[in-house]
Amino acid sequence: MLIILLGPPGAGKGTQAEFLVQKYGSAYISTGEILRSAVKKGTAMGKQAKQYMDQGQLVPDEVVVGIVQERLLEPDCGQGALLDGFPRTVVQARSLDRVLGEMNSRLDAVVHIAVEEEELIARLTGRRVCRDCGATYHVKFNPPKVRNICDQCGGELSQRDDDSLATVTERLLVYKKQTEPLIEYYQKRNLLYTIDGNQEIGAISTQIITVLDQL
């Protein structure tokens, strides 16, 4: 199965992806995670991407399309994959259609997690991630058992550079302008399933599973 998780920053895509990948054993492709790891390693691509990410802007389409195209060819994607945070523009969506066509593959569903803006700001500014395994927490809504320590691996939690209020505001604007048109793009192709993201994490997971099990 090839599934896209679509939704604004803070909607809960990464949180749901952690759960879905465990349940279905699918390959996980998060362009944000791949870019952050390139930034950490200090590669040429990472250096270029960092300038955009720090401003809350999107990294150029050709860079992310190249990343995803390469990643989809890796053997663990043979049985399908879960795409988180890609595509984010209509250009990226068209490129994905082309790449999948060349691979004789196609999308099964686009799961759109809908959450309103005020809630997104609270979620993003309180988000904490594990430095070691990348697991996601929230200081209030999904706290770890021990303050600042990852339940999964014991690693230290930290705040992402781009989760400051100023950058969050910009990212939400960028989402509205550049990514929201994808809702209509996938609706027209009969691939869109919208889930109310203003529920408990577990309730959202249950609804996503119901959608995926019907495919």
What x-and-dash track marks residues 54-93 binding ligand ADP by CB under 6 A?
--xxxx----x--------------------xx-x---x-
Total residues contacting Zn ion (rule CB under 5 A)? 8
Q: Could you say which of 71, 88, 123, 128 is catalytic?
A: 88
Q: Could you say which of 36, 71, 123, 127 is catalytic?
A: 127
Cβ atoms of residues 84 and 30 within 8 Å = yes
Smallest CA-to-CA distance from 182 within 73, 101, 83 is with 83
Check if 160 is active-site.
Answer: yes
40-53 burial, b at 16+ Cβ within 10 Å, e below that, comes to: eeeeebbeebbeeb
Residue whose pair of structure tokens reads 């099990």 in the numeric block: 213
Nearest to ligand ADP of 53, 150 (CB atom):
53
Residue whose pair of structure tokens reads 């999904």 in the numeric block: 142
| Distance in Å, CB of 128 to Zn ion, minimum | 11
DSSP 60: P
Distance separating alpha carbons of residues 14 and 27, to the nearest angstrom: 13
What x-and-dash track marks residues 165-194 binding ligand ADP by CB under 6 A?
------x-----------------------
Interface residues for ligand ADP in 15-44 (CB under 6 A)? 15, 31-32, 35
